[in-house]
Amino acid sequence: MKKHSSMRRTFAVLLIIGLVSAMFMALPVFAGSDGTEKSAQTIFGLEDLEGKIVGVQTGTTGDIYISDDAELKLKGVERYNTGFEAVQALSQNKIDAVVIDDQPAQAFVAQMNGLTILDTEYVKEDYAMAVQKGNTELLGKLNEAIAALQENGTLQTIVDYYIDHSGEGYSSPKGAEHPNGKLVMATNAEFPPYEYYDDNNEIVGIDADLAMAIGDYLGYEVEISDMKFDSIITSVATGKAQFGMAGLTVTEEREQSIDFTNPYYTGKQVVIVRKSAGAQRETIIDRFKRNFVQAGRWKMLLSGLGVTLVITLFSTLFGVLIGFVVAIIRSTHDKTGGLRILNIIAQVYTTVIRGTPTVVQLLIIYYVVFASVNIPKIIVAVIAFSMNSGAYISEIIRSGIMSIDEGQFEAGRSLGFNYAQTMRYFILPQALKNVIPALGNEFITLLKETSISGYIAINDMTKVGDVIRSRTYDAFMPLVTVALVYLLLVFIFARLWGVLEGRLRRNG
């Protein structure tokens, strides 16, 4: 009887989840048809931007120029993490124009209906590679390689391939050797045609191929590390990456932190505006296929899910260990007055961790603590999330210990158990049982918190959703799918945890 009703409840919850997601699916269809009717072209030149809102990608040249540009008399500037997000906001009528590099602009306009590029360019700029300040040896080599590749036509071959879609492009010569080791290239692979993921899940583009050619020329293997655009300079400055290459324009501000090579390409910043209606119609199923079935992108999602689960599980494990130790230290101090120094350390730890954003902790651990150490990013994430979770778990366990009646402690001690034995046999078993619900909650929080792993270029589930979005130019399907997967995980976990709780409660 009881089993029956609980099954019915599970079914009801799943039904609600299904209905909500169906509602979500229906939503953008209306929004799209609604939005497209109003949008006819109103901006034909730079002077028409007066009183408009312009979108840019944070930290790009467009951002730097437009933010200082008083002449345009803009109403405002919206900053997005990727150029694609900015273009998408434009097509959804959220902003009026996007300032972006010429080449990606061409790609976006070609892929999305209803957009056009203004004839007048906004600015012209030189692209160069960034290296750590003072690394003159590498700088010299890179300059030499750039000059040589310009000379022998390799650079032109690459540009022709990606921009005019002509020729074979560049591939490493047979038997290319890399005796000089490895160079890590920091980039932001959301920037076609300079760097982006192709359908084989590999980062390609003008910069990527040029970097490879430079590596082949200099005898280095090149490893590409994909990260947020605004992290590239930091990565290079801290030595996480040996060079940065992402359509980087030479600016004085950037030259404070890093050194630039000679320019290898001259690009333009252009303005994209809305032209006319033209939202494409496709069924939900086509859309699903385009996002997940094409190019086997579901595999990416699956591997992202794996990464998310690995980070969450290990962080929980170590978080509980840390939390346990810290809780024991703090409550031992509270009860006996001992462990004074350790208690101070524990208090500082919980205060700092609870008082700073998790993202900031993650970035500090990656870029500051492990700045000069080469360890896998997943381990960095596990360390960051363990430390973060440990602080919260320690407070949970401590509150559990404090909630146990002092009489339990006295009963244990009066029988002749020492402090540690009393804790182990009587206080902790009861305390842990009391905090089981709170620990489950912490696990759920942590699972969702790992979604910020993308900040240090880890391809967790959220990041993968974002990558798919940048390739299919569809925000809705990947993001909602990722959200549903999280929801499902939390739902399953909450059910399992509920069973555990129930079992413990029955045992006295």
Q: What is residue 394's three-state secondary structure?
A: helix
Does 408 contact other proteins by CB under 8 A?
yes
Question: Smaller CB distance to other proteins: residue 221 or 501?
Answer: 501
> Any idea which residue has 């040589």 for tokens?
148
Contact set for other proteins, span 171-210 (CB under 8 A): none
Interacting residue with other proteins among 421, 495, 496, 499 (CB under 8 A): 421
Stretch that binds other proteins, among 27-35, 124-132, 283-291, 407-415 (CB under 8 A): 407-415
Does 334 contact other proteins by CB under 8 A?
no
Beta strands in 141-191 (DSSP E): 182-187, 190-191
Q: What share of the chain is helix, strand, coil (3-state, %, to 5)?
A: 65, 10, 25
Angstrom distance (rounded) from CA 96 to CA 498 = 50
Does 439 contact other proteins by CB under 8 A?
no
> Any idea which residue has 């906004």 for tokens?
122
Angstrom distance (rounded) from CA 348 to CA 354 = 10
Interacting residue with other proteins among 410, 488, 499, 505 (CB under 8 A): 410
Query: What burial letters (b/e) apply to 169-187, b meaning 16+ CB within 10 Å?
Result: ebeeeeeeeeeeeebbbbb
Question: Smaller CB distance to other proteins: residue 329 or 404?
Answer: 404
Stretch that binds other proteins, among 136-144, 244-252, 280-288, 404-412 (CB under 8 A): 404-412
Does 425 contact other proteins by CB under 8 A?
yes
For the bound state, the minimum distance from the C-beta of residue 419 to other proteins, rounded and expressed in Å, comes to 9
Stretch that binds other proteins, among 145-153, 255-263, 306-314, 408-416 (CB under 8 A): 408-416
Q: What is residue 348's three-state secondary structure?
A: helix
The tokens describing 187, both together, are 């980039």
Interacting residue with other proteins among 45, 76, 278, 429 (CB under 8 A): 429
The tokens describing 65, both together, are 């120029």
Between the two ends of the chain, the Cα-to-Cα distance in Å is 24
Stretch that binds other proteins, among 113-121, 406-414, 458-466, 467-475 (CB under 8 A): 406-414
Does 407 contact other proteins by CB under 8 A?
yes
Interacting residue with other proteins among 426, 443, 455, 476 (CB under 8 A): 426
Does 80 contact other proteins by CB under 8 A?
no
> Any idea which residue has 């089993």 for tokens?
3
Q: What is the DSSP string of 10-74?
A: HHHHHHHHHHHHHHHHHHHHHHHHHHHHH------SGGGGTT-EEEEETTSHHHHHHHT--TT--
Give the x/- contact pattern for other proteins in 267-306, rule: CB under 8 A: ----------------------------------------
Does 502 contact other proteins by CB under 8 A?
no
For the bound state, the minimum distance from the C-beta of residue 425 to other proteins, rounded and expressed in Å, comes to 6
Question: Smaller CB distance to other proteins: residue 158 or 401?
Answer: 401
Q: What is the DSSP string of 291-314?
A: IIIGGGHHHHHHHHHHHHHHHHHH
> Any idea which residue has 């803009």 for tokens?
74
For the bound state, the minimum distance from the C-beta of residue 507 to other proteins, rounded and expressed in Å, comes to 8
Closest by alpha carbon to 107, among 31, 40, 186, 204? 204
Residue 116 is classified by DSSP as E
Does 44 contact other proteins by CB under 8 A?
no
Stretch that binds other proteins, among 150-158, 201-209, 346-354, 427-435 (CB under 8 A): 427-435
Residues forming the site for other proteins (CB under 8 A): 405, 407-408, 410-418, 421, 425-426, 429-430, 433, 508
